[in-house]
Amino acid sequence: MVPPRIFIYSGSCASTSFPHQQAQYCEEDRSLIPKRQMSNLRIRFHVLLLFSSFVILTTSQHDPLKSKQKHVAMFVFGDSLFDPGNNDFLNISVTQGKANFPPYGETFFRYPTGRFCDGRIIPDFTASFTGLPLWRPYLDPANHNLVVGANFASGGACVLVENNPYTLNLQIQLGFFKEVVNLLTQQLGDTDTKKLLREAIYISSLGGVDYMTFATSSSNVTESEMQEYVDIVIGNITEAMKEIYELGGRKFAFQSVGPLGCLPLIRARYNSSGKCVEFLQILATMHNNALAKAAEKLEIKLSGFKYLIFDFFTSLMDRTNNPTKYGFKVGDNACCGGGAYHAGACGWLTEEYELCSDPNEFVFWDADHPTEHCYSQLAQLLWNGTENVTWPLNMKQLYELDIDTELSSQDIDLIAVGK
């Protein structure tokens, strides 16, 4: 086993208790755009655009990289499903949300990166499909190239601030995005920054932790109370997306909440018979239905707003119920963990965990996160899946969509209607 690479935040942020304070008081530690790169950022942006106009590759359904490449930045918001290691730079304990120890990361990176997985996660694959590098945590004090975007996701992140005060909730992530917009504007200028933001993709995975928290703290709730809670979560997501839109965002990729009631963690905690917990399944479904309606309303209300909904719920559920259909052997137990369903701790300080010999045979890596192999399949569906898994567009279509051309076409249509 390769020794773990421990990420130590050596600056003054190490003792900061609240994540949002890091952006305010740690400028000397986290140079988002290194000084030696600042003067060249505008030139590099133009070079990327110029180069992309000459790069033509053969389109292939089986190899997303063999498609016409252009530069489209990506900004990632979410929880542990999308976290590339941001939590490693927070002043929190392992039990509050870290994965910076073996055997995490062993399949691809060969060392723990802070991802809650044995290897790459969905945003890594989608970045590769579009020619972007694998994600580094936004909070990593090392050099960043913000022209490609940024990943703000944080394990345990909630939409509602009060549900988890320890990690980067949606509002903090939104604050970081605004910080990036300001930095890009300073270096690229207003025109080029607006173009970059207009063509960028904003991908999110939000809400799962909120519903897990709600389930833990609530009992005997009525359907109307569940719907009221869902509406609050969706309302907060909607307002955040509106803010991104006001800052220039136009292309949004929403990942639905997964089958929470069927996670190994939940099966072990709530139901000894191994069946999925219906209460959480209903909550997730209610959220996903409300998310689809909210996105549709935003498209109607906001000019140029384009979106996709990726049915993460059904896609993961199908693999959980029918693992052999997709090349897996085990769909309910985790590869790494202890106890029933291997839903106990994976690695860290416990010696009472088991590690499977081949993570590729398992749908789940740990108690509540899929394996890299599962993520790779799901990312492929997100990228070029049909309308039964991602609608009204898939991510490849969203990526290739030219917002300026789309807006011009809408203007022509409006003029024609006016006549």
At 229 the pLDDT is: 98
- What are the DSSP E strand ranges found in 206-280? 251-255
The chain-wide mean pLDDT, for the chain, equals 84
- The predicted model gives 204-213 an average pLDDT of 98
Cβ-in-10-Å burial (0-12, 13-18, 19+) of 217 comes to exposed
Distance CA 159, CA 28 (A): 29
Work out the burial of residue 137: count CB atoms within 10 Å of its CB; fewer than 13 is exposed, 13-18 middle, 19 or more buried.
Answer: buried
- The answer for 220, left when phi > 0, alpha when psi is -120 to 50, beta otherwise, is left
Is a pLDDT exceeding 80 seen at residue 258? yes
For this structure, is 20 an active site residue?
no
Q: Are 361 and 330 in contact (CB under 8 A)?
A: yes
Residue 281, pLDDT above cutoff 80: yes
Quick one: pLDDT at residue 35?
32
Q: Residue 60 pLDDT more than 70?
A: no
Other Cβ atoms closer than 10 A to 302: 16
Q: Which of 67, 71, 79, 80 is catalytic?
A: 80
Q: 8 to each of 11, 256, 363, how far by Cα in Å?
A: 9, 33, 31
Residue listed under structure tokens 């990166």 = 113
Give the pLDDT confidence of 92-139 residue by residue, as tens digits. 888 889 999 999 999 999 999 999 999 999 999 999 999 999 999 999
Predicted confidence at residue 4, as pLDDT, reads: 28
Contact indicator for 224, 243 with CB cutoff of 8 Å:
no
Among the ranges given (66-70, 166-170, 290-294), the one the predictor scored with the smallest mean pLDDT:
66-70
Whether 80 is a known active-site residue: answer yes
Q: Mention every residue, 6+ apart, whose C-beta is less than 8 A from residue 301.
A: none
Distance CA 77, CA 170 (A): 7
CATH class assigned to 12-418: alpha beta
pLDDT tens, 364-417? 999 999 999 999 999 999 999 999 999 999 999 999 999 887 665 554 444 444
The pLDDT of 310-330, averaged and rounded, is 98
- Band of pLDDT at residue 59, cut at 50, 70 and 90: very low
When pLDDT is averaged across residues 356-371 and rounded to a whole number, the result is 98
Average pLDDT score over residue span 317-343: 97
For residue 336, the 8-state DSSP code is E
Q: Where are the domains of the chain?
A: 12-418
First to last CA, the chain: 71
Average the pLDDT over 299-314 and give the result. 98
Instruction: Read off the pLDDT of each residue in 57-80 and give the average, rounded to a whole number.
Output: 67
Determine which one of 124, 210, 366, 368 is catalytic. Answer: 366
Tokens of 55: 């790069």
Note the pTM of the prediction, 2 decimals: 0.82
Among residues 71, 287, 342, 369, the one annotated as catalytic is 369
Respond yes or no: is residue 29 known to be catalytic: no
